[in-house]
Amino acid sequence: MTVMTTQTAPAVGFDQVSKSFGNVKAVDGLTLSLRPGETVALLGPNGAGKSTTLDLLLGLKQPDSGAVRVFGVTAREAIVAGRVGAMLQSGGLMDEVTVAELVGLACALHPKPYKASDVMARAGIAQIASRKVNKLSGGQAQRVRFALATAGDSDLIVLDEPTTGMDVTARQAFWATMREQADQGRTVLFATHYLEEADAIADRVLVLHRGRLLADGTAAEIKAKAGARRISFDLEGEIDERALRELPFLTALDVSGHTVRIQSADADATVHALYGLGLYPRNLEVAGLGLEQAFVAITAAEEAKTK
């Protein structure tokens, strides 16, 4: 019976979870469920509540209200059973020991350990095995943290902003390693504020903003939502706002004086239709929205929907 529930239980389940620090609601009524085997990105700008969400998931923080379950049990129980491997954002390492010693410790503490040499090879740190942990570069330290998270046969790997401090090459190598983990059927959850990372790796993207779940979908869906572009141009003479509002893929319109600002989910189509109206826009500019603005756009869209 118990076996049944743990097997069918979601890898991660949040039920109406809230956590505040003083007046700030870091996580606000969060409900989500990750299916085993999914690769999920937790996407959000800084301060969105990503780290707090992962801390709650891992049992490092206790929620003010709501319940957190990992494979149907508490985080601590799942960790003790060896089902969870995790890498914290800038999580400290034991210093004055070598990389090999530290990875060896992580393997010794895991109930279903891999061989330390294999773990280091997979994390790409075999060649720095004898180096002292406190003498590593930022990117190398991240790889050591990754090795600690993958020291054993865990079912869920949690990574908080794993590519912080890595250059582009290191980042790509890292994600290749990461994908191997996912291909072995593990559930992988990682926090990032790069939409591109979420797009390249994840089957599913959760967008977090001010502690709330804004969007939950495939990377393509999120990209369409967050990939909104801003179009601005000047028009001479009388501006027919009604006609502009009918433009395809338009999500927001702002006219001030001769200047028109539009947000569009598909800028190419919108601009094409703009010329189709027989208008002659001057000083035409098309720019991507930053992630932060994209979130605001999504929020606005979500709020409009609920009204």
Q: Which of 41, 88, 195, 247 binds other proteins (CB under 8 A)?
A: 88
Residue 84 as a binder of other proteins (CB under 8 A): the answer is yes
String of DSSP letters for 280-303: --EEEEEEEPPHHHHHHHHHHHHH
- Return the range that interacts with other proteins (CB under 8 A); candidates 42-50, 83-91, 174-182, 208-216: 83-91
Whether 11 and 156 have beta carbons less than 8 Å apart is answered as yes
86 belongs to the binding site for other proteins (CB under 8 A): yes
CB of 22 to other proteins, least distance (A): 13
DSSP H/E element including 101: helix 99-109
CA 117, distance to chain mean position in Å, is 30
Least distance in angstroms from the C-beta of 58 to other proteins:
6
DSSP letter for each residue of 198-263: HHHH-SEEEEEETTEEEEEE-HHHHHHHHT-EEEEEE--S---HHHHHTSTTEEEEEEETTEEEEE
Query: What type of residue sits at position 37?
Result: G
Which residues face 13 on adjacent strands? 33, 69
Residue 111 interacts with other proteins (CB under 8 A)?
Answer: yes
Taking CB under 8 A as the rule, does residue 93 contact other proteins?
Answer: yes
Binding flag, residue 220, other proteins (CB under 8 A): no
Could you give the CA distance from residue 218 to residue 198 in angstroms, rounded to a whole number?
A: 10
Q: Which is nearer to other proteins, 19 or 204 (by Cβ)?
A: 19
Taking CB under 8 A as the rule, does residue 94 contact other proteins?
Answer: yes
Query: For residue 3, what are its two tokens?
Result: 């076996």
Cβ-based nearer residue to other proteins, 107 or 226: 107
Letters for 50-69 (x = contact with other proteins by CB under 8 A, - = none) are --------xxxxx-------
- Please tell me whether residue 238 binds other proteins under the rule CB under 8 A: no
Query: Residue 197, Cα to own-chain centre: how many angstroms?
Result: 8
Using alpha carbons, select from 116, 90, 113, 91 the residue that is nearest to residue 103: 116
Q: Are 203 and 178 in contact (CB under 8 A)?
A: no
Strand order in the sheet with 187-192: 84-87, 156-160, 187-192, 39-43, 204-209, 212-217
In the beta sheet, which residues pair with residue 187? 156
* 82, 165, 217, 281: which one binds other proteins (CB under 8 A): 82
CB of 97 to other proteins, least distance (A): 5
Residue 182 interacting with other proteins (CB under 8 A): no
Task: Give the one residue of 2, 96, 278, 307 binding other proteins; rule: CB under 8 A.
Answer: 96
272, containing H or E segment: helix 267-276
C-beta separation of 53 from 27 below 8 A = yes
Site residue total, other proteins (CB under 8 A): 31
Neighbours of 251 (CB within 10 A): 18
CA angle in degrees (0–180, nearest 5) for 51-154-213: 30
Contact flags string 148-177 toward other proteins, x per CB under 8 A: x-----------------------------
> Of the listed pieces 95-103, 171-179, 193-201, 253-261, which binds other proteins according to CB under 8 A?
95-103
Site string for other proteins, 197-216 (x = CB under 8 A): --------------------
Among 24, 67, 109, 243, binds other proteins (CB under 8 A): 109
In the complex, least distance from residue 105 CB atom to other proteins, rounded to whole angstroms: 5
List contacts with other proteins (CB under 8 A): 58-62, 79-80, 82, 84-86, 88, 90-97, 101-102, 104-106, 108-111, 145, 148
